[in-house]
Amino acid sequence: DAMVIQNPRYQVTQFGKPVTLSCSQTLNHNVMYWYQQKSSQAPKLLFHYYDKDFNNEADTPDNFQSRRPNTSFCFLDIRSPGLGDAAMYLCATSTTTGSTDTQYFGPGTRLTVL
């Protein structure tokens, strides 16, 4: 089945220790998104890739970086996690960024920062 896969599902890191979250997709979608979602809050878009074109949200901290080495994979790097970065990180894909394009989400990675 075509899908969006995120690994790991649960990630524990220490304050200030770099961590990388991964996302892969078999949908062959052009666009990949990274969201941060804290409990009972709306998902917050961090950045997205349209093919290899990187689009950073204005309020995304420099602590967050992303890589998309090919169509299928996208990584979220948190260079120095703080306690406030503990959240669910959601990867999503869509065919384009057009208005009718549904975003399909992976299961998410729940990050704990100790």
Partner 1 sequence: GQNIDQPTEMTATEGAIVQINCTYQTSGFNGLFWYQQHAGEAPTFLSYNVLDGLEEKGRFSSFLSRSKGYSYLLLKELQMKDSASYLCAVTDSNYQLIWGAGTKLIIKP
- Return residues touching partner 1 (CB under 8 A): 40-45, 88, 90, 97-100, 102-108, 110
Q: Report the DSSP beta bridge partners of residue 26.
A: none
Spatial neighbors of 41 by CB under 8 A, at least 6 apart, are none
User: Is 60 or 79 the residue whose CB approaches partner 1 more closely?
Assistant: 60
Nearest distance in Å: CB 16, partner 1: 26
Torsion sign, CA atoms 99, 42, 50, 57:
positive
Taking the alpha carbons of 75, 82, 89, 114 in that order, is the dihedral positive or negative? positive
Question: Which residue bears the tokens 């959601």?
Answer: 90
Helix (H, G, I), strand (E, B) or coil at 83: helix
Comparing CB distances to partner 1, the nearer of 44 and 79 is 44
Nearer to partner 1, 57 or 77 (CB): 57
- Would you say 73 or 105 has its CB closer to partner 1? 105
- Supply the minimum distance, in Å, between the C-beta of residue 100 and partner 1: 6
- As measured in angstroms, the least distance from the Cβ of 32 to partner 1 is 14
The candidate with the shortest Cα–Cα distance to 63, out of 83, 49, 48, is 83
Smallest separation (angstroms) from partner 1 to the CB of 27:
13
